[in-house]
Amino acid sequence: MSQKPDACNTDRPMKIMVFQQGGRGESKIKGIQQHGKNQFDITLITADYPLPPVVDDASEYLPDTIEADLVLDFFKHPDLSHDLALLCRRLAIPIVASGKKTTVDGTHTPPVCCALARHTKLGRYSRYFGAPEFDVTVTDGKISEVTVRRGAPCGATWEAARRVQGCSIEEAPVRIGLDTQFFCTADPANWDPIWGKSPVHLAADLHRAALVAALKKAQNNAHG
């Protein structure tokens, strides 16, 4: 077993390895590079070739080892995702597989990328990306400034936040939900029976709730 890089070493970028099919990881890589403040070194592995419905052993499609602090799984084939999770567990590398159903211990499986809670094991990635967090400034009943403290790796949070500046505090939560749906790159057809929503609608709800919380905080501070 190769030695895993030290994820706590803040003197170098955090190494992320992204596995994808059908370009599913492209928007996330772009968002991480744009909003990650040069804190991440990303390697992309793409498996865009015909696969059988059942892959008994996915090792031929995966590297023998992984040199990374974190793995992001955007495979479509469930067998590739399962064996990738097993490989990461064996190498003690944390893995985020949004929207996946897995029995592999240690795999982080939020229903959508922007539902990821903070986890110390995910290092700097968890500080920058996951469930949205905002700071807002309200002037004369309107949002005059929005700061994104944490957001979706696809970048939808930052795009949607820019568009609520100048909106009234009543209008802004609805607006950010609609804009999040527009910029979200999750598959809207991937309906989740547990949540009763598509990932896109769930992302909208998460951003709306985060902005409402930020507005309440701003108003409390103004009256404090």
Q: List, for residues 95-132, the tens digit of each pLDDT value.
A: 999 999 888 998 999 999 999 999 999 999 999 999 99
Q: Locate CATH 3.90.1010 in the chain.
A: 133-223
Which CATH fold would you assign to the domain 133-223? Sufe protein. Chain: A (3.90.1010)
Pairing of strands 133-139, 142-150: antiparallel
Superfamily of domain 14-109: Response regulator (3.40.50.2300)
Q: Locate CATH 3.40.50.2300 in the chain.
A: 14-109
Q: What is the pTM of this model?
A: 0.90
Given this model, what pLDDT does residue 200 score? 92
Given this model, what pLDDT does residue 11 score? 76
Q: List, for residues 130-156, the tens digit of each pLDDT value.
A: 999 999 999 999 999 999 999 999 999
Tokens 């700071």, located at residue: 135
100 φ/ψ angles, rounded to the nearest 5 degrees: -90, 155
Q: Residue 129 gets which letter from DSSP?
A: B
- CA-nearest of 221, 218, 186 to 203 is 186
Structure token digits, residue 193: 């029976």
Tokens 């490989």, located at residue: 87
pLDDT band, very low/low/confident/very high, at 49 (cuts 50, 70, 90)? confident
Helical pair 172-183 and 199-223, crossing angle rounded to 10 deg: 150
Tokens 């990461």, located at residue: 88
Helical pair 199-223 and 156-164, crossing angle rounded to 10 deg: 50
